[in-house]
Structure 1
Amino acid sequence: MATSNNDPPLILTLKLDQITFEQVNTLRQQYFPPERNFIPAHVTLFHALPGDQESAISQRLQKLCTQTSSIDLSLPTLRFLGNGVAIELVSPKLVQLRQTLAASWSDWLSAQDRQGYRSHITIQNKVAAAAARQVYGQLLEQWQPLQGYGEGLLLWYYQGGPWTLASEFSFTAEATVDP
């Protein structure tokens, strides 16, 4: 994937509903090392899309989001990352949406984005393994599964540390009810 110096890579994340976002972001602010915590809690769908394809990416996202209703999310438990802790996220509809986009963008995907997808929200990272294990154990004892939903997609410019929001796309399709 080649991008010019003028086109920073793009990151695509799921926009969480406000209640879920506040719950997970509070945990991230509490446990993520403050000197490394440049961004709020998020669910990454793609880590590095080509910045020089922003227009095509945005058009694809706009079209997809008009055909997509909100996405139910389950956050059943925690995942130990070795040097951090994440909240597992279960959503077949989100996995399907990501697969659809990955098929559209297969020529653009980085090695990381070609790997298997396991959605999660990182609340601690890049700490000593002992510290991560302690936080994992402490949080696991009191963990209560969460339910939430995704209400859109966020496209970000990656700028070495902090991210800058490029575009927001809302899911606008009406939800269908199975008979």
Structure 2
Amino acid sequence: MTVTTAPAAPVTSGQQTQSFSSTDAEQRFNNQRPSVEGYSNDQPSYVLSLWTDRAHNDSMNSLRKTYFPPKLNKIPAHITLFHALPGSKLESDVLPAIRHIASRTPPYRVRATNPMRLSHGVGIKVADDIDHANDSTRGRNMTRIVHAELRKKWGEWLSEQDSTPPRFHYTVMNKVNNERVVEQALAQLEESFKRGEDVSGGKFDHSGKNNDRLDEEGEGTDRHQKLAFVGEVQGLILWRYERSGHWADPEQFKFTGRDR
């Protein structure tokens, strides 16, 4: 499951929407239809993602901008909780559940832990940052708790994908069929996480012929930026997903609860 970190600053429905290619979007839409009686392809579907602080999101988005094929990179770095929530359930089930859990959940920290190989790209694993958690939340994975509570409320009509156990992560490279390019990106990202900074220099050659690599002294050719591995989850973001490929009208739900 894709971890959607979306922009942390407030966003409104009047802002420009994000988009995929129409072909990819239509195929994804058909594959993720919820199991709702009377569900129609004509009704909207919604995506629910985590809302993280800007510094953390900017670091992950920088990696995505570097490694994701530019022509296909139409949305920001993100951690998705649910991919296809049906519009027919929006007012009766989806919004009430989101508002309820946001009112009970406190902000909490997450950490981007390490790169992982995906079928056609590379992801960044994400886990709760429990090393510095207080006693009441120590050892508890709040992301999984939030997801599990919502899945329990919506379980009867969720899509097959949204009903399966999640694997929270950022996708920073995808839709790349060149094995050599993917392996080079994975190696470079592993070096970034080892050093705690983006060693790509903001560039990556998707032809695989001349990727920016470290020089013989272990120094990059460009000035590297520190990566904000640790971030704060501040709430949830609900996006309308359209068959055209757009993620539209983002609505934020701030976590206002106290420690559970």
TM-score strictly above 0.5 = yes
- Compute the displacement of 1:29 (Å): 1.2
The structure whose residues are more often helix, as a share, is: 1
Equivalent residue, structure 1, for 2:253: 169
Picking from 85, 105, 108, the partner of 1:68 is: 105
**Cα distance in 1 for residues equivalent to 2:188 and 2:48:** 31
**Cα distance in 1 for residues equivalent to 2:107 and 2:46:** 23
| 1:77-96 alignment runs, 5 A limit | 77-91=114-128, 92-96=141-145
Contact 1:17 1:151 in 2 (8 A): yes
| 1:21-170 alignment runs, 5 A limit | 21-55=57-91, 56-91=93-128, 92-128=141-177, 129-143=179-193, 144=196, 146-160=229-243, 161-170=245-254
**Cα distance in 2 for residues equivalent to 1:36 and 1:52:** 30
**Cα distance in 2 for residues equivalent to 1:94 and 1:4:** 30
**Cα distance in 2 for residues equivalent to 1:85 and 1:68:** 30
Task: State the SS of the aligned residue for 1:108.
Answer: coil
Contact 1:67 1:173 in 2 (8 A): yes
- Compute the displacement of 1:5 (Å): 4.4
One-letter amino acid of the structure 2 residue matched with residue 121 of structure 1: Y
**Cα distance in 1 for residues equivalent to 2:181 and 2:71:** 16
Query: For the pair shown, which has the larger CA radius of gyration, 1 or 2?
Result: 2
One-letter amino acid of the structure 1 residue matched with residue 252 of structure 2: E
Task: State the SS of the aligned residue for 1:107.
Answer: coil
**Cα distance in 1 for residues equivalent to 2:250 and 2:62:** 24
Task: State the SS of the aligned residue for 1:95.
Answer: helix
Identical aligned pairs, as a percentage? 34
Task: State the SS of the aligned residue for 1:137.
Answer: helix
Task: State the SS of the aligned residue for 2:94.
Answer: helix
Q: What runs of 5+ residues in structure 1 fail to find an aligned partner?
A: none
One-letter amino acid of the structure 2 residue matched with residue 105 of structure 1: W
**Cα distance in 2 for residues equivalent to 1:97 and 1:33:** 32
Please give the TM-score of this superposition, normalised by the length of structure 1: 0.92
**Cα distance in 1 for residues equivalent to 2:167 and 2:154:** 18
**Cα distance in 1 for residues equivalent to 2:97 and 2:165:** 22
One-letter amino acid of the structure 1 residue matched with residue 164 of structure 2: Q
Q: What runs of 5+ residues in structure 2 fail to find an aligned partner?
A: 1-34, 129-140, 197-226
| 1:7-18 alignment runs, 5 A limit | 7-18=43-54
Task: State the SS of the aligned residue for 2:150.
Answer: helix
**Cα distance in 1 for residues equivalent to 2:102 and 2:167:** 21
Contact 1:77 1:140 in 2 (8 A): yes
